[in-house]
Amino acid sequence: MEREIEGVKVQRAEMWREITRLKEMNESRTRESGEQADKLKGLDFEIQRTQAHIQDTQQLLDVRSADLRNKQLGLEDADRENNRVREQNAKLGNDNGALRRDNERVAAENYDIRKEVDF
């Protein structure tokens, strides 16, 4: 019976050591879990901050893209206007040449008429 009691005591001591070891492992894993939860919260915050930055950048990109489109349209309008003015200028240059020729012709006619009147 003494032997059985000693055997039970040894078993209980081994079980106590095993329980202590398991408690320590549990505490270690609980601590590790808390650390990982803190890291995860930090990463979630960093992700949210990065997503907010991405949204701000996207909005800025959209605004600048709209500005660029508007400037492109303005440039196209100005180019069309420039071409229209060049065509008009060329037409006016041709008209001016024709008027000069007419003016020279009329001046020559006037000269001839004056010559006839004076003589």
pTM of the model: 0.54
Chain-centroid distance of CA 102 in Å reads 61
The three-class DSSP label of residue 30 is: helix
What pLDDT tens digit does each residue of the chain (119 aa) get? 888 888 899 999 999 999 999 999 999 999 999 999 999 999 999 999 999 999 999 999 999 999 999 999 999 999 999 999 999 999 999 999 999 999 999 999 999 898 888 76
CA gap 98, 34 in Å, rounded: 94
* Torsion, Cα of 71, 75, 80, 81 (10° steps): 90
